[in-house]
Structure 1
Amino acid sequence: MARFLGIDTSNYTTSTAIYDTRTHCVFQQKQLLQVKESSLGLRQSDAVFSHVKQLGDLLCELLERQGSQLDGVGVSIRPRDVQGSYMPCFLVGELVARSVAAAKEIPVYFFSHQAGHIMAALYSAQRLDLINETFVAFHLSGGTTECLLVTPNKEGVFSVQLLAKSMDLKAGQVVDRTGKLLGLPFPAGKELETLALKSEKIYKIHPTFKGKDCCLSGLENQCQKLLAQGEAKEEIAAYCIQYLLAVVERMTKNIKEELGDLPIVYSGGVMSNSMIRQKITEKYGGYFAQPQFSSDNAAGVAVLASVQRKGGTEE
C-alpha cells in the first residue's frame, strides 16, 4: 500500500488530495478562491495571497481526517506542458509540496495543471489503463480550450501534442462572461446550466472554425446581442451551451476523421456540463470526468505521483 498527497493551487481553487493505492480511493479537501461580486476572476497577486491563507488549513484538515502517512507528493507547478507556461499562483503549491516532502523525507513529483485534469478524468472514468496507450484528451476550462494527442512517456507519465485549440476566448471564459451578463455568480458554470435546462428552444448553430481551430469571441458577442433583443435569460444560457456543444462535436468529428477510433477523454470544468456530456456520449461515446473531478482538483496530481513512482504503471 502507498499513499500520495496531491496539491494544486490554480487560479480558481486551492486543492489537496490523498490517493490510496490499496483502495484506489481519493480523498479531497478543496476550496474556491474568493472573488468579488461581479468580478470575472482574480489578479495573480490576489490568487497567491488567497492560496497562502487557505492551503494550510485545507492540508491540516485532510491529514487529520485521513492520516499523515505518505509515500510521495505530487504538485502542479505550471498550467500546461509547453515552454513558457507559467502562473505565479502555482508557486504556493510547489513551496508547500517541497516542504512536506523534505520534512517527511519522501519524493516530490512535478506536473502541469493540465496533466492533472487529464489524469483526474482517467481516474474518475475508471480508465487508468489508458496511460499505457495513445488517446485523445479534450481540456476545456477557464484558461484552456484544447484537443490533445496523449502518448505514453517512459521518462514521465505521458506526453501531449496539441491537435486543435480555441484561437481567442476559452470555453470557460465565455461561460463566465455570459454568466456575468445574466447576473450569475462567478464561476458561472453550474448556474448557467441550471438556467439553460429551463429552456426548450433548440438553436441552429454554425460555430466558427479556422481549419481545426475554433473561435469563441463571436459567441460572447451573440449572447450580448440576444440580451439586447430581449431574449429570455434561460434562452441565452441555452444558446451559449448549445454553441459550446457544437464546437466540441465539430472538434470530435474532425479528430475521429483524422486519427480513427482512438479513445477520447473529456476533462476540465466546462465538460462537467450534463447537457454537453449527454449529447457527446450519445453521438461519440468517450470518457468524461465525474463532476467532482472535472473542476480544478488535486486528485489528478496525486494519482500522477503514484504512476510516476512506478515508472508509468498505476499501482
Structure 2
Amino acid sequence: MEKSKKYILSIESSCDDTSAAVLCNKKVLSNVVATQEIHKQYGGVVPELASRAHQQNIVPVVHQALAKANIDKKQLSAIAFTRGPGLMGSLLVGTSFAKSLALGLNIPLIEVNHMEAHILAHFIEHDNQSIPSFPFLAMTISGGHTQIVKVIDHFQMEVLGQTLDDAVGEAFDKSAKLMGLPYPGGPLIDKYAQLGNPHAYEFPKPKVDGLNFSFSGLKTSILYFLQRETRKDPDFISKHINDICASVQYTILEILMEKLQMAVNQTGIHQVAIGGGVAANSGIRQRLKDAEENLGWSTFIPKFEYCTDNAAMIGIVGYLKYEKGAFSDQSIAAKARYAIGG
C-alpha cells in the first residue's frame, strides 16, 4: 500500500539566509533561499541587519516556496522550523513565523536542530542518490560549526569532536580577508587554490587532543606570514595569490582529514558523510573520493544546494519527526546554543 502523502513546509533562518521549502514525504518540491547581500560591505554577518532582512524576506520566500511546489497552505501537514543553534535575532523571526502559521492552520509544529539537519540532509530523496546506513560518521563543516558526529540512527547521535574556537568556514573566510579578498572568501580561496601549488608555503597545524579542532592559531600564523612577506614585497599577495590560497586550503584540509581518519580508526566505522557549507569545497570533495579509493571508505556528500543553509534539510527532519509524532507546542522558544541531542 502506498504511503500517504505528507506535505511539510519548513523554514530555516539561523544565520543570514532566509529559506523555505516544501517536501512531500522525503522528496523536495521546492527549496527557496533568499541570500542577504548587505553583509558583504561589512566583511561578515551583522546580526541586527540579518534579523531585519529575515523580517523582510520571510513572507515572500514562504509564498514562493508554496507557489513553486504548487501546494495550497491548507494542504500542509505540519510546519518545521530551525529552533537553533544560530543568531538569536534571526532564529526569532523564523520561530515566530512558524508558530503563528501552525497555530493559524491548526497543524503540528516541529522544531529542528540545525546541526542534525545538516547530517540528515543525506536522507532527502532524489535521483542518483546513495544513502548512508547506520551507524555512520558525519563531519559537519560550515561557517559556524566544525563537528565529527557518530550517527547511530536518525535521532541518536554522539558528538565525538568539535572546534574549540573558530569554525572551519570562518578560518577560510578570515584567511581570505587577510589576503584582501571580498566576503565570503571561502569559495574564492577554493577557486584560486585550483591554480596554485599546495606545497608552496607551509603553515603549522595545531596540536589538539582527541577529535577536537582549533583554527585560531592557523589564522594567526597566516596573518604573520602575510605581514612578513608584504614587508619585503608590497605586491607579494597579488603576485602569489594562487599559491597562498592553495597552501592555506591544503593545510585546512589536512587538519580535517587527519581528524576524520582518527575517528574512523577509533570507531571502526568506514561510512563517512559530510555536510555544511564547506562541503561544497572542491578540495574536500576530492579528498573524500581519494579516501574511498585508497582507504576503502564509503563516502557521502549531499547535493550542492543541500550543503549550505537551506530549508529542505529542515524539512527532511520535519518529515522524520512527523512520522514519529514528535511535535512541539506553542511554548517552544528559539535557542541560540543548541547542542545535538540537547
TM-score, structure 2 normalization: 0.81
Higher mean C-alpha deviation, range 241-250 or range 200-209: 200-209
Q: Is 1:134 paired with 2:132?
A: no
| Residue number in structure 2 paired with 1:181 | 178
Q: In structure 1, what residue type is equivalent to 2:168?
A: A
Q: What is the deviation of 1:5?
A: 1.0
Q: Is 1:222 paired with 2:215?
A: no
Tell me the SS of whatever aligns to 2:89.
coil
Q: Which of 5, 8, 24 is 2:9 aligned to?
A: 5
Q: What is the deviation of 1:181?
A: 2.0
Q: Is 1:57 paired with 2:60?
A: yes
Q: Is the 8 A contact 1:177 1:220 kept in 2?
A: yes
Q: What is the deviation of 1:170?
A: 1.0
Q: What is the deviation of 1:65?
A: 2.2
Aligned CA distance change for structure 1 residues 128 and 27 (closer, same or farther; 3 Å): farther
Aligned positions of 1:144-159 closer than 5 A: 144-152=145-153, 157-159=154-156
Q: In structure 1, what residue type is equivalent to 2:301?
A: F
Aligned positions of 1:131-280 closer than 5 A: 133-152=134-153, 157-202=154-199, 207-212=205-210, 213-228=212-227, 229=229, 230-231=236-237, 232-280=240-288
Q: What is the deviation of 1:33?
A: 2.1
| Residue number in structure 2 paired with 1:307 | 320
Q: Which of 44, 47, 50 is 2:47 aligned to?
A: 44
Higher mean C-alpha deviation, range 262-271 or range 198-207: 198-207
Q: What is the deviation of 1:227?
A: 2.7
Please give the alpha-carbon distance, in whole angstroms, between the structure 2 residues aligned to 1:239 and 1:26.
Answer: 40
Q: Cα deviations across residues 50-82 of structure 1 (Å, max 9, x unaligned)?
A: 111111111111112222231111111111xxx
Higher mean C-alpha deviation, range 140-149 or range 64-73: 64-73
Q: Is the 8 A contact 1:207 1:214 kept in 2?
A: no
Aligned CA distance change for structure 1 residues 88 and 128 (closer, same or farther; 3 Å): farther
Tell me the SS of whatever aligns to 1:7.
strand
Q: In structure 1, what residue type is equivalent to 2:243?
A: E
| Residue number in structure 2 paired with 1:286 | 299
| Residue number in structure 2 paired with 1:82 | none
Q: In structure 2, what residue type is equivalent to 1:227?
A: L
Tell me the SS of whatever aligns to 2:22.
strand
Tell me the SS of whatever aligns to 1:61.
helix
Tell me the SS of whatever aligns to 1:6.
strand
Tell me the SS of whatever aligns to 1:275.
helix
Consecutive unaligned residues of structure 1, counting only runs of 5 or more, are 80-84
Aligned positions of 1:67-146 closer than 5 A: 67-68=71-72, 69-79=75-85, 87-123=88-124, 126-127=129-130, 130=133, 133-146=134-147
Q: Cα deviations across residues 258-298 of structure 1 (Å, max 9, x unaligned)?
A: 10024221011111101111112211441112221111111
Which of structure 1's runs of 4+ aligned residues deviate more than 4 A?
203-206
Please give the alpha-carbon distance, in whole angstroms, between the structure 2 residues aligned to 1:251 and 1:220.
Answer: 19
Q: Is the 8 A contact 2:197 2:247 kept in 1?
A: no
Question: Aligned-residue CA RMSD in angstroms?
Answer: 2.3
Please give the alpha-carbon distance, in whole angstroms, between the structure 1 residues aligned to 2:318 and 2:198.
Answer: 45
Q: What is the deviation of 1:206?
A: 5.6
Q: In structure 1, what residue type is equivalent to 2:307?
A: S
Q: What is the identity percentage for the equivalent residue pairs of Structure 1 and Structure 2?
A: 23
Please give the alpha-carbon distance, in whole angstroms, between the structure 2 residues aligned to 1:298 and 1:72.
Answer: 14
| Residue number in structure 2 paired with 1:33 | 36
Q: In structure 1, what residue type is equivalent to 2:49?
A: D
Q: Is the 8 A contact 1:5 1:18 kept in 2?
A: yes
| Residue number in structure 1 paired with 2:25 | 21
Kindly name which structure, 1 or 2, has the bigger radius of gyration based on alpha carbons: 2
Please give the alpha-carbon distance, in whole angstroms, between the structure 2 residues aligned to 1:72 and 1:222.
Answer: 49
| Residue number in structure 1 paired with 2:233 | none
Q: Is the 8 A contact 2:204 2:221 kept in 1?
A: no
Please give the alpha-carbon distance, in whole angstroms, between the structure 1 residues aligned to 2:16 and 2:245.
Answer: 22
Please give the alpha-carbon distance, in whole angstroms, between the structure 1 residues aligned to 2:151 and 2:49.
Answer: 33
Aligned CA distance change for structure 1 residues 37 and 47 (closer, same or farther; 3 Å): closer
Q: Is the 8 A contact 2:123 2:316 kept in 1?
A: no
Please give the alpha-carbon distance, in whole angstroms, between the structure 1 residues aligned to 2:265 and 2:321.
Answer: 33
Tell me the SS of whatever aligns to 1:65.
helix
Q: Cα deviations across residues 128-158 of structure 1 (Å, max 9, x unaligned)?
A: 564xx32221111111111112223xxxx41
Aligned CA distance change for structure 1 residues 202 and 121 (closer, same or farther; 3 Å): farther
Consecutive unaligned residues of structure 2, counting only runs of 5 or more, are 230-235, 292-296, 326-342
